[in-house]
Structure formats: C-alpha cells, structure tokens
Structure 1
Amino acid sequence: MKKVIMICVLGAMSLFADPATIIKTKCASCHGANMEKVALGKSAVVNKMSASEIEEALKGYKAKTLNKHGLGGTMWGQAGALSDADIAEIAKYITTNLNK
C-alpha cells in the first residue's frame, strides 16, 4: 500500500511541475537561464520564439519526430518526460517571463 501511495504522490508532483524549475534543471545548462543562448552553437534562441513555436518544437522532440540542427538525440531525452501541460506552461513562462 505504501508503494502505491508513493507512486501516486510522485506522479502528482510531476503533473504540477513548476516551469521555472523545469527550465532551471533541464534547459538552462545549454540554453541559458533566460533561454538566451544558442545551445551547442546550433539552436535557435528560445526566448525569441513564440509560445506556439516553443510548444511545437518541444512536442516534436517529445515524439522524436524533430531533429532540428541535429540536436534530436539531446532534446528527445529532455522533452521525453514532459507532459503536454508541462510543455504549454514552459512555453507560456518563457514568452511572458524571460528576456527577449
């Protein structure tokens, strides 16, 4: 019973992941704290993209159908665990809170 409760708690935590925390832990090392960097010298600057462009890219990486700039292998791992709600929140957070 304790295992089931713990799994439910951990699952619920991932459903309500804070976009700032996701960006800090999954994105900032390559894209910068404000998503201002050209990751690995190849990517677009994310904070210059629209929310719909960010969502489309993250969903493509999550589905492993996008390999833009040859960064698919890296991004597939980063986006793979994100829910569609996480992706929407990340896109909204970047476009409303980070420097452009």
Structure 2
Amino acid sequence: MKRSVVLTSVLLISSLYAGAGEGKEIFNKICYICHGKHAEKSSLGVSKIIAGWKADKIVEKLKAYKSGKLDQYGYGNMMRNRATKLTDEQMQAVAKYIESLGKPKQ
C-alpha cells in the first residue's frame, strides 16, 4: 500500500514538472518571437502583455483563435496558425508556464 502511494505521488509530481517543461519548450518555439522571452512584450506594440495571465484565460483565448472565433488586433490568422498546432494538453502546459512568469516588473 505505502509503495503504491509513493509511486503514485512520484508519477504525479513528475507529470507536473513534465508539463511545465513542455510549456516552456512550446513557448520558446512559437510564442516568444512576438511576446518576448518572458511574455513581457506587446506584440508589434498593439497586443496586451500576457505575462501573468491566468492559465484558464490563456487556454480560452487559444481555443478561440484555434476555432477561428477570435481575431484581436488583426492577428487572428497568425494566432490560429499557431494554435491549431497545439493539443488541449499542450495549450494547458504553455498556459501554466505563462501564468508562472508573473506580471512583468515596470
């Protein structure tokens, strides 16, 4: 019994860290170019800074872009192109990573 509890705990913790690592990897591949290394930039000076946004809000926006229902700042096609490459799990991972960055210091 103790052994299975320990094993379950180890697997849960490692999956949480794997998600965070995957989120950072995804961000560094497809997001940082416009949003900055720490999500601290306004894309082309018009979008909102996303650092510190809640993960649920980020996933909601990514899903809306993916479905073609969202086109903010004229970036709908560009964002849809990126969002369609992500699974729901990858969206969650990158959203949690962005949330973990916190608000940028002014």
Q: TM-score range by the shorter chain?
A: 0.7 to 0.9
| Matched residue type, 2:99 | T
Return the alpha-carbon distance in structure 2 between the equivalents of residues 49 and 69 of structure 1: 18
**1:22 aligned to 2:30?**
no
**Corresponding residue pairs, total:** 84
Task: Give the unaligned 5+ runs of structure 1.
Answer: 1-15
Pick from 66, 80, 85 the counterpart of residue 76 of structure 1.
Answer: 80
1:1-100 equivalent positions in 2, closer than 5 A: 18-96=22-100, 98-100=101-103
Paired residues of 1:62 and 1:80 also in contact (CA < 8 A): yes
For residue 45 of structure 1, give the secondary structure of its aligned residue in structure 2. coil
Give how far 1:48 is off.
Answer: 3.5
Question: Amino acid of the residue matched to residue 26 of structure 2?
Answer: I
- Work out the percentage of aligned pairs sharing the same amino acid: 36
CA distance in 2 between partners of 1:21 and 1:92 (Å): 12
Give CA-to-partner distance per residue, 1:31-56, whole Å, 9 cap, x none: 00101100122211111421111111
Return the TM-score normalized by structure 2.
0.73
Structure 1 residue runs of 4 or more that deviate by more than 6 Å after TM superposition: none
Which structure is richer in relative contact order (CA contacts within 8 A, separation 6 or more)?
2
In structure 2, list runs of 5 or more residues that go unmatched: 1-18
